[in-house]
Structure 1
Amino acid sequence: MPGERAVAAARAALGVRFRLHGRSIEGLAEGLDCIGLAALALRAEGFEGTVPSGYALRSGDAGRVGAAIEALGLVPAAEPRPGDLLLFKAGPGQLHFAIQAEAGVIHADAMLRRVVERPGLPWPVIGRWRLARGD
């Protein structure tokens, strides 16, 4: 089923420490941030694009972020599905990515300092995307 590999990859990272600009996809030893976790999950689904780096922790331009996601080949999704990439408004000027799970989200939590799974949608969803592949 589409999205299963993304959720499985994100779950395999549960407990990995949070690190801003964390991209240690192969070993996970150095840690992940929300974009690193998103890249890990999307690569499990076949994504081959390059993820951004060098961004600020607070960069609240959701339109610019959405355009960048779509430029990578992801398409907006109306109906929720496990494996979707979610963009949240986590606070003033703060955007945050997570992977949709069956009953919640998997994300790199800066406050808890690790990748966690939590029930429900913890913040307002301002975007939802998935890989374009006709399913």
Structure 2
Amino acid sequence: MTRARALLGVRFRWQGRDGDGLDCVGLAALALGLRGVPGGYRLRGGDAAVAAAWLDARLMRVAAWAAGDLLLVRSGPGQLHCAIWTGDGMIHADAGLGRVVERPGMPPWPVIGAWRQA
């Protein structure tokens, strides 16, 4: 979670993967040290089963969240989103605000699953 907090304020950039700009996948990759993250995806039409299988192959799926866990949520119709759970909120790349932010409280969207580094 320390790595995720270090990225607060980085501007939002669709499919961004570095300190020049991040989307939610780029944030998750940098915060968790994930390599080979997918790119070329569309804003809508994400397949939750495909995303979950990709995460299952790299991280450990968990039922009870702890600080630093990766959450996969459904932020809109056909739209997937990643966030890092802080224990009392989440860090995510917010397209509307144009940057990586920390938001208090429970995710406002349905949570598909949670993963942590083994």
* TM-score of the pair, normalised by structure 2: 0.94
| Distance in 2 separating the partners of 1:122 and 1:41 | 21
Identity among equivalent positions (%) equals: 61
1:51 alignment partner AA:
V
| 1:69 equivalenced with 2:55 (yes/no) | yes
| Distance in 2 separating the partners of 1:81 and 1:66 | 18
Provide the residue aligned with 2:74 in structure 1. 89
Runs of 5+ consecutive residues of structure 2 not aligned to the other structure: none
Question: Which of the numbers 1, 11, 14 marks the counterpart of 2:5?
Answer: 11
Cα deviation, 1:63-105, whole Å, max 9, x if unaligned, reads: 111011112x212101110010100110100110000002100
- What's the Cα RMSD here? 1.0
Cα deviation, 1:46-73, whole Å, max 9, x if unaligned, reads: x4x31111111113311111011112x2
Whether contact under 8 Å (1:34, 1:107) holds in the other structure is yes
Whether contact under 8 Å (1:60, 1:92) holds in the other structure is no
SS in 2 for 1:112: coil
> 1:98-113, aligned counterparts within 5 Å?
98-113=83-98
| Distance in 1 separating the partners of 2:16 and 2:80 | 16
SS in 2 for 1:57: coil
Structure that is richer in strand per residue: 2
How many residue pairs match? The answer is: 117
| 1:60 equivalenced with 2:46 (yes/no) | yes
Whether contact under 8 Å (1:74, 1:129) holds in the other structure is yes
Runs of 5+ consecutive residues of structure 1 not aligned to the other structure: 1-6
* TM-score of the pair, normalised by structure 1: 0.83
Provide the residue aligned with 2:111 in structure 1. 125
| Distance in 1 separating the partners of 2:45 and 2:31 | 22
Runs of 4+ deviating beyond 2 Å: none
